[in-house]
Amino acid sequence: MKNNKQLRKWLDDLNLSHPLVIAGPCSAETEEQLLKVAHELKETDTSVLRAGIWKPRTRPGNFEGVGALGLKWLQKAKEETGLLTTTEVANANHVDLALKHDVDILWVGARTTVSPFIVQEIADAVKGTDTIILVKNPVNPDLALWLGAVERFYEAGISKLGVIHRGFSTYQKSRFRNNPEWQIPIDLQNSFPDLPLILDPSHIAGKRDLIFDLCQTALDLNYDGLMIETHPNPDKAWSDANQQITPEKLAWLTKNLKIRKPESNEKEFKNQINTLRTQIDLIDNQIMTVLGKRMEIVDEIGALKKDNNVAILQVKRWNAVLNRMILEGKENKLSEEFVLKIYKAIHQESINHQKKVIND
């Protein structure tokens, strides 16, 4: 699956001059609602109409979707507007019904990606079809589980694939409904650069006013597209009302986002970036040299501890070093979190060095 341009052919074939936009309501509610939003979205950068037909709800008693009936409305919206369509599927029966109604793209929801059994059931159900599958990240921050789901589809012969980053749930309250944990999709992008990566800012944000900034961050990170919950009357939505926006707001948003070019050939830019990168390379070399020197001294201390039969770990000294470096970090505009991470790693390497010296 690695380095496989085939994975993104479906996206390249759309020939878009901007990132892919998937928009539409959290849930299909009525025929009128869905057709109204579809026609309004047709006038924006949207290529794909989304609508939840079966809604996985964390707690029972909330609106659980209109069911198969809504697929007819989705089909009608597609016929009337020419937009592609997508919906969430969570079992083989959903797949069967969605494909019977010409749904172009099926997405696997966050609560489904966590279950390899269900993912496999869905993969078996789409086997032999030409469907495009988008896999949302699992609710828990686990890259392997996310990739595992994608691989199940790939192994079932589905090569039109993509992933949707919708954030990760945490027990602690944060400003987001689901924490973005950007490092996880970045790691995924580094390992599978051809797998289209789409941001779902709506489920990360949980509220409208965070959506724009999330989209901009995604574009700065070279994401391939956005999936944004859009409703003709967001406040009256039957599900996820706080995070949905109007088609008008969506149009404003896509106009105001800055699309960064992955590369630039402009001479001046290239010169400047080369100079700066050379500087970074030199500093990186210095960092390695200094760390190597630090470890040489650590080894000397290790030998001294061995001669005097003293334990490797000296908690008091370690805490003193850490506190001093946190202050030093502040002076140099480095966050405490960052300094802690670096020093924990340095300390671990020092312990490994001394263990070797003492046991030699």
- Which stretches of the chain bind ligand PEP, using CB under 6 A? 26, 52, 56, 109-111, 136, 166, 203
Report what 177 binds from ligand PEP, Mn ion, none; CB cut-off 5-8 Å by kind: none
Residue 49: is it exposed, middle or buried by C-beta count within 10 angstroms (0-12/13-18/19+)? buried
Report what 67 binds from ligand PEP, Mn ion, none; CB cut-off 5-8 Å by kind: none
Cβ atoms of 89 and 99 within 8 Å: the answer is no
Joined tokens for residue 88: 């969430």
Report what 110 binds from ligand PEP, Mn ion, none; CB cut-off 5-8 Å by kind: ligand PEP
Nearest distance in Å: CB 200, ligand PEP: 6
Joined tokens for residue 225: 């597209």
- The Cα 122–Cα 119 span in angstroms is 5
Query: What Rg do the C-alpha atoms of the chain give, in angstroms?
Result: 25
Q: Does 26 bind Mn ion (CB under 5 A)?
A: yes
Shorter beta-carbon distance to ligand PEP: residue 8 or 136: 136
Nearest distance in Å: CB 62, ligand PEP: 11
Report what 78 binds from ligand PEP, Mn ion, none; CB cut-off 5-8 Å by kind: none
Report what 197 binds from Mn ion, ligand PEP, none; CB cut-off 5-8 Å by kind: none
Termini Cα distance of the chain: 44
Cβ atoms of 138 and 114 within 8 Å: the answer is yes
Nearest distance in Å: CB 152, ligand PEP: 17
Nearest distance in Å: CB 240, Mn ion: 4
Cβ atoms of 148 and 128 within 8 Å: the answer is no
Shorter beta-carbon distance to ligand PEP: residue 112 or 254: 112
Nearest distance in Å: CB 107, ligand PEP: 7
Measured from each CB, the residue nearest to ligand PEP is: 109
DSSP 114: T
Q: Which residues contact 73 (CB under 8 A, 6 or more apart)?
A: 28, 30, 31, 34, 35, 51
Q: Does 104 bind Mn ion (CB under 5 A)?
A: no
Shorter beta-carbon distance to ligand PEP: residue 201 or 247: 201
SS3 per-residue string spanning 309-331: CCCCCCHHHHHHHHHHHHHHHHH
Nearest to 83 by CA among 111, 46, 127: 46
- The Cα 25–Cα 230 span in angstroms is 5
Residue written as tokens 């694939």?
161
Shorter beta-carbon distance to ligand PEP: residue 131 or 244: 244
Shorter beta-carbon distance to ligand PEP: residue 89 or 339: 89
Measured from each CB, the residue nearest to Mn ion is: 26
Shorter beta-carbon distance to Mn ion: residue 57 or 260: 57
- The Cα 265–Cα 259 span in angstroms is 16
Instruction: Annotate each residue in 203-242 with x if it binds Mn ion (CB under 5 A) or - if it does not, as one string.
Output: -------------------------------------x--
- Overall size of the chain counted in residues: 360
Shorter beta-carbon distance to ligand PEP: residue 197 or 339: 197
The residues of the shown chain that bind Mn ion, judged by CB under 5 A, are 26, 240
